[in-house]
Structure 1
């Protein structure tokens, strides 16, 4: 099998690549697992050395729209590349180019392939937003109408709908899935509005101070890196019949609050770690994060055998063990 990961050098893409390579074979569209012959990583930056050294890995550096020839022979594509939320709010044109136009170009390139490709698209819970006079329901389901309040969420929702139509027309076997906020992300902070939801755990565990820009009672929906990768692979593996209508699927999440996240940090690493968090309100970040829902009914994903993490403390423990 030939697999392509856009954004393959990023945290999530690299973790997905390592998981696939460790498995050695992968299931797709309800068929039994087949060996992974080639794994192509498309990204603007070089991949981690361990991935670059694997003979099954091919790396293509550059802008996505300039790298689409690398799709030749692909059977399965994971589209993870994106400009993130705060970046898109600060630079509208960046989001249009890096997300909307690049996504459309990718779909068109997949459409042109001689064999119908399976494409798993990583959308986001940011497609949901709370507008004055238009509150979200207390529990969000796959059928809840997205009403994004950010450029990033709008671009993700447009691509979901476009991929659904490409699938309806028989051009692509599209599987759009909405990822919850992934925490705890290792490495350096990124430009996502949700980045602090990793930073307030990651930095204190390293003995560094971290800033929390939202109030402690803020409710959030989170997923560990491991459960997120599990969801992406499971969605690729099942038949289209089992996936259901080619509309976006919400992946499971653990609902927690920022206060409970800090309490979990103290439980795992001690109060001294939790004391390294500085509370500095940022109205712009708060407006984005509090517009997202925190409680989901993910019955459709559960039917595929997917489940949320048991609690946030277990996520913190897993992060400590992986370091």
Structure 2
């Protein structure tokens, strides 16, 4: 199986690559070649079946190189984070919209030329729902993005849905929340505080949290995120609902619940609160969420707050 991973050097991408090399998709050893693309690579895996290419995943010459031979499976993770995309609209459009459509177009051409339709697992985002959010959310909640990032993710969903219907691609879309716990702080992620809480408690450092202790958010560890991405790749298309877009189950928890559990684990958690209305409105007023179709399809959350913390701070 030839697999392409965009954004392979990112927080989620590096963990996904490790899992693919160790476990494969259906079974260990079923990955014959792993094509990795990102703007740069800190330390690409030294495996015979790995080929890492640094550059713009939507550039024609890079697509020519990546897709010189057909691929069977694509994990499209690459994107400019939401806050960064809002600050630099041209960059956000180039990467999150036009490059993505260029990738999908070339994959569709591959399918036509080789009669080999690749499975595409697209990492969409809960940003498609916009803000403010309704009191409760389920599989019937309509997307109403209020950021360019959310709009571009929704466009990707719709194109992939249409091309799946037409047989050009075989696509699954996962609307992912903020994934924890990223190392360090990133100005590009508006939800960076969610990871910063974990890292500060782990290091015994003080942190000024930009949302209140009663702010509620959706939590998912990197390991759980990779579980769900791989599950999407393994799903049989038979019997799935027509849109094939899911919001995987999440733990819906107040920030105080996370901080209290971290304090138990590390002896203390030196978290102060300095709420920022904009950040709290976007990331701290998330309601209960249950996409029943995602549950029935087998997607899962981390289970408990203690399991979330253990998995979020692991290297998996």
Q: Same fold (TM over 0.5)?
A: yes
- When the two structures are aligned, how many residues end up with a matched partner? 308
Counterpart selection for 1:35 from 7, 12, 30: 30
1:217 aligns to what?
A: 214
2:246 aligned with 1:278: no
1:47 Cα deviation after fit? 4.5
Q: Residue 149 of structure 2 aligns with which residue?
A: 152
Query: TM-score, length-normalised on structure 2?
Result: 0.91
2:52 matches 1:55: no
Contact preservation (8 Å) 1:129, 1:148: yes
> C-alpha separation between the residues in 1 aligned to 2:90 and 2:34?
31
Match of 1:301 in 2: 294
Q: Residue 41 of structure 2 corresponds to which residue in structure 1?
A: 46
Q: Report the more deviating stretch, 102-111 or 242-251.
A: 242-251
- SS at the partner of 2:279? helix
Deviations 1:149-193 (A, max 9, x none): 222111111111111111111110011111122112235535111
Gaps of 5+ in 2: none
Q: Distance in 2 between matches of 1:146 and 1:306?
A: 20
* 1:155/1:120 CA distance change after superposition, 3 Å: same
Q: Are positions 1:102 and 2:125 aligned together?
A: no
The structural deviation recorded for 1:255 is 0.5
Superposed counterparts of 1:1-323, under 5 Å: 1-23=1-23, 25-27=24-26, 35-49=30-44, 51=45, 53-66=46-59, 67-69=62-64, 70-71=66-67, 72-113=69-110, 114=114, 115-131=116-132, 136=134, 138-186=135-183, 189=186, 191-271=188-268, 274-275=269-270, 277-290=271-284, 293-322=286-315
Deviations 1:110-141 (A, max 9, x none): 1010221110000011111235xxx52x3212
In structure 2, relative to structure 1, the CA distance for the partners of 1:259 and 1:321 (3 Å cut) is same
For each residue in 1:201-249, what CA deviation from the matched residue of structure 2 results, as whole angstroms up to 9, or x when unmatched?
1133123333311111111111111111111111111111243223421
DSSP 3-state at the match of 1:241? coil
Residue 320 of structure 1 deviates from its aligned partner by: 4.2
Q: Distance in 1 between matches of 2:29 and 2:168?
A: 23
* TM-score (norm. length: structure 1): 0.89
Structure 1: tracts of 5 or more residues without a match: none
**Aligned partners of 2:219 and 2:252 also within 8 Å:** yes
Larger mean Cα displacement after TM superposition, 210-219 or 164-173: 210-219
Is residue 118–residue 173 contact of structure 1 (8 Å, CA) maintained in 2?
A: yes
SS at match of 1:123: strand
Cα 1:231/1:321, change in 2 over 3 Å: closer
Task: Summarize the Cα distance change of 1:56–1:99 in structure 2 as closer, same or farther, 3 Å threshold.
Answer: same
- The CA distance in 2 between the partners of 1:294 and 1:74, in whole Å, is 39
Q: Does the 8 Å CA contact 1:180/1:252 hold for their aligned counterparts?
A: no
Shift, 1:34, TM fit = 7.0
Question: Cα gap change, 1:12/1:242 in structure 2, threshold over 3 Å: closer, same or farther?
Answer: farther
Deviation at 1:43, TM superposition (A): 0.3
